[in-house]
Amino acid sequence: MKITLDADKCCGAGQCVLVAPEVFDQRDEDGIVVLLDAEPPAEQHDAVREAAAICPAAVIEVH
């Protein structure tokens, strides 16, 4: 799995951080998404797909 982000579209809802905290965080200065692990291990894959599904601004792409 490889994750890419379009952080310009991020609205800082933080749902990805709640669902997959090992993979996503928010920048201290403005709350915008940060990718902690662009190629997370298998045990994170379900959580990442869930984060992508509920992201309100369709920022997260899973390849």
Partner 1 sequence: MTISPTAPVGTAPAPLPVEPPTGCPFDPPTAFGALRTEEPISRIALPDGSWAWLATRYSDIRAILGDTRFSSDTTLHGYPLSGMTGGGNTQNRGFIRMDPPEHTRLRRMVTREFMVKRVEALRPEIQRITDELCDEMARGQGPVDLVEALALPVPSLVISLLLGVPYDDHEVFQRLTGTLLSRTVPDDEREAARVELRDYLDQLVTAKEADPGDDILGRLITEQQQTGEITHDEVAAFAALLLIAGHETTANMIGLSALTLMRDPESAARLRQDPGLIRGAVEELLRFHSIIRNGPRRVATADIEIDGHLIRAGEGVVAAVPSANRDESVFADADRLDICRPNAQHHVAFGYGIHQCLGQALARVELQVVIGTLLRRFPTLRPAVPVDEIPFRTDMAIYGCHALPVTW
Q: 56 near 11, Cβ under 8 Å? A: yes
Nearer to partner 1, 2 or 34 (CB): 34
The least distance separating partner 1 from the CB of residue 17, rounded to whole angstroms, comes to 4
Distance between CA atoms of residues 29 and 3, nearest Å: 23
Binding mask 23-62 for partner 1 (x = CB under 8 A): --xxxxxxxx-----------------x--xx-xxx----
- Residue-wise DSSP of 23-56: TEEE-TTT--EEES-SS--GGGHHHHHHHHHH-T
List of residues contacting partner 1 (CB under 8 A): 9, 11-15, 17-19, 25-32, 50, 53-54, 56-58
